[in-house]
Amino acid sequence: MPVLYDRLLKLKEMFNSKFGSIPKFYVRAPGRVNIIGEHIDYCGYSVLPMAIEQDVLIAVEPVKTYTLQLANTNPLYPDFSTSANNIQIDKTKPLWHNYFLCGLKGIQEHFGLTNLTGMNCLVDGNIPPSSGLSSSSALVCCAGLVTLTVLGRNLSKLLAKYKNLQWDNVLRLDEVQAKLGISLEEMLLVTEDALHPEPYNPEEICRCLGISLEELRTQILSPNTQDVLIFKLYQRAKHVYSEAARVLQFKKICEEAPENMVQLLGELMNQSHMSCRDMYECSCPELDQLVDICRKLGAQGSRLTGAGWGGCAVSIVPADKLPGFLANVHKAYYQRSDGSLAPEKQSLFATKPGGGALVFLEA
């Protein structure tokens, strides 16, 4: 990993210049892209993400004081310091250092720790921000791993916690399928039979469930949806079940590796985008345009990723077509006549599957 090695050396030099000392270790966490499986994870279904080569790096030096000092190689993100034992996170302000504090505080609360040691940390990253590539999640993961490493804890001590829901509290679509004991393809048929394509209003939902409007608001809807007057239940269910099936098909094709594998995977990605656009309505004109351009210029498949409503598109492109593809997409999408998008907001890059989170010890 020569490129990563060069970045670590540069980060070491910048750390020494900033803090007047040498880091004791470095932590890396990658960004990730969701290749397929959009808006189905919180419905209980698997998605298919991939770690990318772009990442967040943090150089760390534990210190004997109780002060946490954070700095960033990007001058857009100002320095921050606080007591390691009095972590306060202002939820109203999405400042960059709050993501680090979330990772640290999560480990602190999980293990019930007090009297945390201080540390000097210098953060570097090359994941495009606000692009749906989990730059903030990579920073949170890095911070958690930094804290575990400083404490000498092992990740295997972290245990998953699960909740079992009663039927009257079932909120996830995968639980309906599990209760019925049928396949995703059969769930699509159930959706066709049970729901109509026309939007539902709150009164109709109440009649179907045999509940009052007050019960609908307090027991089923969230604070963000209590004032919604139109519910496209048919379209949303169709997307979730069909997208969950596409994820399984994608996985199967990868495992079987037929000769036309790339073509088949690309077709599933294209179907995913159409469903996100038409059934879940989480696309936007700019994303649709970008996806169309990518397909016309050589992508075997292209779709929105990062939840949609902005973010980015992910495309699967044969390696031998990559240089021409990147140049042509940049020209077709970014170099438009209106010139409305500033150069620093333009981000187009290639990546292969990347490695996972790592800790590097200073020799």
**CATH for 72:** 3.30.230.10
For residues 221 and 225, give the distance between their C-alpha atoms in angstroms, rounded to a whole number: 6
Q: Determine what percent of the chain is predicted with pLDDT higher than 90.
A: 57
Sheet holding 25-36, edge to edge: 80-83, 67-72, 118-125, 48-63, 25-36, 358-361
Instruction: Take residue 71 and report the two structure tokens written for it.
Output: 């700095």
pTM: 0.81
Burial environment of residue 3 by CB neighbours within 10 A (0 to 12, 13 to 18, 19 or more): exposed
The mean-pLDDT minimum among 208-212, 263-267, 297-301, 338-342 falls in 338-342
Instruction: Take residue 18 and report the two structure tokens written for it.
Output: 């900033």
pLDDT in tens, 154-184: 332 222 222 233 434 555 788 888 888 889 9
Label the pairing between strands 118-125 and 67-72. Answer: parallel
Which of the four pLDDT bands, split at 50, 70 and 90, describes residue 2?
A: low
The mean-pLDDT minimum among 274-288, 309-323, 327-341 falls in 327-341
Could you tell me if residue 27 is inside a domain? Answer: yes
Domain that holds residue 16: 1-158+354-361
pLDDT at 167: 34
Could you tell me if residue 33 is inside a domain? Answer: yes
For residues 358 and 149, give the distance between their C-alpha atoms in angstroms, rounded to a whole number: 11
6 membership: H or E segment, kind and range: helix 2-19
DSSP 21: S
pLDDT at 194: 86
Instruction: Take residue 294 and report the two structure tokens written for it.
Output: 């990518």
Domain count, the chain: 1
For residues 329 and 296, give the distance between their C-alpha atoms in angstroms, rounded to a whole number: 9
| CA distance from start to end of the chain | 17
